[in-house]
Every structure is written in structure tokens, then in C-alpha cells.
Structure 1
Amino acid sequence: MPPKLQPSKNVKITDVAQLAGVSVTTVSMVLNGKGRISPATAERVQQAIKQLDYVPNSAAANLRSQQSNLVGLILRDITDPFYTEVTAGVSEVLEQQGYLLFLTQCGHSPERLQQSIQSLSRQGVAGIIFNPVRGAAAKTLEILLGSQLPVVCAARSYYRDDVDFIGPDNTHAAQQATTYLIEQGHRHIA
């Protein structure tokens, strides 16, 4: 039977600073790759981080900087293969930019859409990508759009022109499909 992993002591940035013999600010600058830090000092800090198995607390850093690395994605049904692909693509792009995906689903319920928006807002997300729900209360969506959060509509267009939209180009896809069918000799295309 493999040994049980013991939870490690919660190592703080102050512990790293003390072991490296530097200030907390210096450790922070090394972690963020900012500031003028000598290679020798940076190496001492990196050694202390490794020795203590320090893992930076993203939530604390976000509170200090008042910025978030979380982006909320609200979908109708995460088990739908189309939305699975959307989720994978969004997650991949966000991770390349240093963000993490916070996923929620609302089904076809305007009430659950509102709950999802409120939950994501409370979590302090940096922005929200959402899939409109038919019949959603305009007030709910207006609150979202009126917030300071960047908002992007995904997969289905929204009724307002001032909302960024990412989705399939159905017109171009239909043209390509029709051209292909004509090239194959089909003449009665519905």
C-alpha cells in the first residue's frame, strides 16, 4: 500500500523571504519576473521556493492587484458535444494567456442564467463569456452588460450590436457546402 501523502505546512511568501534573506517585495518581484533583481538574489529566492515547496496563492495575489485570472463561461449544456468543443477551445486560449476557466451551465433557464452571472460576479472573474438563453429576462442581461465586466456572447448571437460575438459563420459554411454539392454534380439542393 503506498504511503499516504501528508498535507504540507501552508508555506507563505514570508517564509520564502526569510529563508532567502530578502524582503517579501523581492520574492514577489522574482515570482512575477518584474523589477531589477540580481541573478544571485533571484537564484537564492528560487532555491528557497524549491526547498520549501512554495506554491504562490493566486487568490491572494488577485486581491492585492485587484485583478483576476479567472474568466467565467456560462453554457446551456456542458455535455452537448458542440459546447464541449467550445469549452476546450476557450480553455486552451485562456490558459495560453495566463487565465483559468470558471465553467457553469444554466440549461434553458433564465433563472439559472441569472444565478450563474451572480456567482461568477461574486467570484471576481475578469470577464464573462455566455451563451444567450431564449426568454432570459432582459433585465438580467442588461445588468450583466451594464457591469464593468467585459462580456462576450458565444455560439449564438445576441440582440444587441454592442455585444462582442464569437460564433460560427453560418452563411460562409452554407456557401461552402452548396459549392461542394454543385461540384459533385448535384442540382436539386434544398
Structure 2
Amino acid sequence: MNDMQAWTAFFLLLTFGIYITIAWRSRVKETKEFYVASRGVPTIANGAAVAADWMSAASFIGMAGMLAFLGSDGSVYLMGWTGGYVLLAMLLAPYLRKWGKFTVPEFVGDRYNDTVRWVAAVAAIVISFTYVVGQMTGGGVVFARFLGLSSQWAVVVAAAVIFFYAVLGGMKGITYTRWRSTSCSSPPT
């Protein structure tokens, strides 16, 4: 192992150690803690976490690929992606908390009817699947590069690390990690 690989391994283990410590300190015991972090995450931290999630591997890889594949015509998708994020953040997200709901299908189902709930659920699943493909591809690229794995195994390792972290810390751990990666401040306790 040369010096560059040793330093890479050191920083990789240090970073994972910090994130696992955050997850361990934020571990959850109840459903409410898992899904909404007991509603105790400050607004700034939650907003920063959502923005960090939007500016993630799926965004950068997907949008860069779209622009490379379609040229300037791909900018329409970029505007739709950004516009949809802004509309969701401004018109829907504040009301989820106000109405005490965990998911968009739950919110629109209570506001309208079960047909709308099913449409929202199917849309959420399709969108989430598309998003997760980009995220796992990004995670696979990172793990393949740093660990020298094949792309298939790198995606498996990335999925296992993300699964472990999400199960341990729930939304609180994920939010604080996302916030930590976009802010110099430490999360409040």
C-alpha cells in the first residue's frame, strides 16, 4: 500500500467514524423519532438537510448525464427538477408538519380522497425509485474509486452502509449528517 492509499483509507475511516458516531448518538427508539426526529430538528438544520439531499449524487450525475445526452434540450429537465423542488419546499412541505402527517400521500389523502392518496403513493414510489438509482450509482462510484471494488460490489457496499446508518439513526441521524456536511456549525443537542 502506497502513501496515497494509506491516507485515503485513513480519511475514509475517519469520515465513517464521525458519521457512525453521529448516528449512534442520534439513535432512535420510537417510530416518531425514526420518521420525523421527534419533530425536534431546528428549521435551519432541516432546510439545510433537504437542500443537501437535493444537491446530491442523483442530482449531479443525473442532470450532468441528461445535459450530455440531450444537449441544451436537457436544460428543460434541469428547470423542472429545480422548479419542482422549489414548489415542493414552498407549497407542500410546510403543511405536512402543520397537519401532523409523515408523507405526502398521507397528507393529500386526508385533504382529498383515497384515489388521490393512491396516485400520490404511486408517484412517490416511482420518483423515489428513480432517485435511489442515481444515489446508489453515485455511492457505487465513490466506493469503487476509494476501495478499488467493481461497480456492482461498490453499489452493494454503499447500500449496506446507508442501510446501517439509516436504521441506526433514523431521520435525526440523517438530517444531522446532511446538515453537518453543508454547515460549519455543530448540530444542537
Q: TM-score range by the shorter chain?
A: under 0.3
The structure with more radius of gyration: 1
Structure with the largest fraction of helix: 2
TM-score by length of 1: 0.24
Greater fraction of residues in strand: 1
Report the TM-score, using the length of structure 2 for normalisation: 0.24
Which structure has more relative contact order (CA 8 Å, sep 6+)? It is 2
